[in-house]
């Protein structure tokens, strides 16, 4: 049966419907570069914005109004899962910090007890977002991959990006690491399915730290958890996007059994990566977001021009950056990129 085109370009692209142009959205688009968000941050903490459903809705939808993107992504944090597993977390000016990280606990898996009711405020926010957003705008739900979440839980903060204690635990005690990863995965599945039930159009799994361990170990220990979450989401007829930053050539292992779309970071050629990924899997990315911090439209246009042949040849592509927007990215540049993506003649017939 042929799928029918709708007024939602983002959802159509996820469904395999060829549209006149690629949809565009940005990771970390809710906040950072938006004046309206920064104004709210003068009154409210990050945690207050995230935990107050009406405010969460406002921040989630700001990029649609201010940037003109085709999809909104829930304004939240990947560390809501550890909170719901009983870990106390403080959101400081230097980032999130756990009061008692797992590296300080003997047999830490025993201490993790899921209380899914701690996530209810997120579903309340999604209900409001779904009611207020336009039907032609996609809504993306998300959580962190079990491995990335594991790294923060063990280490306690993101101050040291090598996450040495987390990697040590992974090598020294695989049994205990598997127990922790399983608890994260179980709650993430419940969380993902609940987001779908509250109206998200697709679900993205963020693997920020895939490159921290050898790809063979990642495929052995982590990919099965990713697949479990993917299967749960897709069992509800909801597309699944997987973003494994730093996975390198092992991204060839991400076939259609694992994801509908795969996000590609800025370090790799999108065309070369497309050639090694299962052709049934769509791709997302991978503009270098750092270019958005410069005052030179010629360089920005040159970067965008690289994507035109790819976008003409690949209708199963979502334009995005290769990682989240950065605080020093310029608002006018981000808006310019959206306008340019919309104005290019993609010659898709």
CA atoms within 13 A on the CB side of 341: 27
What's the rounded mean pLDDT across residues 317-345?
Answer: 97
- pLDDT of residue 1 exceeding 90, the answer is no
Q: 3-class SS at 340?
A: helix
pLDDT tens for each residue of 66-85: 999 999 999 999 999 999 99
Name the residue ranges covered by the structural domains of the chain: 22-285
- pLDDT of residue 129 exceeding 70, the answer is yes
Q: 3-class SS at 52?
A: coil
pLDDT tens for each residue of 31-44: 889 999 999 999 99
> Residue 2 has what pLDDT?
63
What's the rounded mean pLDDT across residues 11-23?
Answer: 97
> Residue 258 has what pLDDT?
97
pLDDT tens for each residue of 141-163: 999 999 999 999 999 987 778 99
CATH number of 22-285: 3.20.20.210
Q: What is the 3-state secondary structure (H, E, C) of 122-188?
A: HHHHHHHHHHHCCCCCEEEEEEECHHHHHHHHHHCCCCCCCCHHHHHHHHHCHHHHHHHHHHHHHHH
pLDDT tens for each residue of 304-315: 999 999 999 999
For the chain, give the mean pLDDT.
95
> Residue 96 has what pLDDT?
83
DSSP for 256-292 reads TTT-SEEEE-TTS-HHHHHHHS-TTSEEEE-B-GGGG
The answer to whether residues 337 and 70 touch, using CB atoms and an 8 Å cutoff, is no
pLDDT tens for each residue of 84-114: 999 999 877 777 899 999 999 999 999 999 9
- pLDDT of residue 185 exceeding 70, the answer is yes
> Residue 3 has what pLDDT?
79
Beta strands 89-92 and 95-98 are antiparallel
Distance CA(24)–CA(26), nearest Å, equals: 7
DSSP for 189-209 reads HHHHHHHHHTT-SEEEEEETT
Instruction: Provide, rounded to the nearest whole percent, the portion of the chain with pLDDT above 70.
Output: 99
The answer to whether residues 69 and 24 touch, using CB atoms and an 8 Å cutoff, is yes
Q: 3-class SS at 228?
A: helix
Alpha-carbon torsion, ordered 294, 204, 198, 21, to 10 deg: 60
pLDDT tens for each residue of 213-268: 999 999 999 999 999 999 999 999 999 999 999 999 999 999 999 999 999 999 99
State the maximum Cα–Cα separation within the chain, in Å, rounded to a whole number.
Answer: 61
């Amino acid at each position: 049966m042929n799928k029918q085109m709708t007024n939602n370009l983002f959802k159509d692209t996820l469904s395999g419907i060829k549209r006149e142009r690629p949809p565009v959205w940005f990771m970390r688009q809710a906040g950072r570069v938006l004046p309206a968000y920064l104004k709210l941050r003068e009154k409210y903490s990050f945690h207050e914005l995230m935990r107050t459903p009406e405010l969460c809705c406002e921040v989630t939808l700001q990029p649609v109004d201010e940037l003109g993107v085709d999809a909104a992504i829930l304004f939240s944090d990947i560390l809501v899962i550890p909170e719901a597993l009983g870990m106390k977390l403080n959101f400081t000016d230097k980032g999130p910090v756990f009061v008692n990280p797992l590296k300080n606990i003997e047999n830490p898996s025993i201490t993790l007890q899921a209380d899914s009711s701690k996530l209810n405020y997120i579903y309340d926010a999604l209900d409001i977002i779904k009611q207020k957003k336009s039907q032609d705008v996609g809504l993306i739900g998300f959580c962190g991959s079990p491995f990335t979440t594991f790294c923060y839980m063990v280490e306690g903060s993101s101050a040291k990006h090598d996450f040495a204690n987390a990697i040590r635990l992974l090598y020294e005690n695989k049994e205990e690491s598997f127990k922790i990863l399983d608890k994260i995965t179980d709650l993430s599945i419940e969380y993902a399915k609940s987001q779908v039930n509250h109206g998200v159009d697709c679900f993205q799994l963020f693997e920020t730290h895939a490159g921290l361990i050898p790809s063979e170990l990642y495929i052995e220990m982590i990919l099965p958890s990713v697949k479990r979450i993917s299967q749960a989401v897709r069992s509800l007829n909801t597309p699944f996007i997987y973003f494994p930053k730093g996975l390198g050539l092992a991204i060839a292992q991400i076939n259609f059994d694992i994801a509908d779309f795969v996000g590609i970071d800025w370090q790799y050629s999108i065309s070369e990566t497309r050639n090694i990924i299962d052709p049934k899997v769509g791709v997302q990315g991978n503009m270098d977001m750092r270019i958005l911090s410069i005052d030179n439209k010629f360089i920005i246009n040159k970067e965008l021009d690289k994507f035109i042949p790819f976008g003409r040849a690949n209708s199963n592509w979502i334009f995005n950056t290769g990682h989240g927007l950065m605080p020093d990215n310029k608002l006018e540049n981000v808006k310019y990129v959206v306008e340019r993506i919309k104005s290019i003649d993609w010659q898709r017939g």
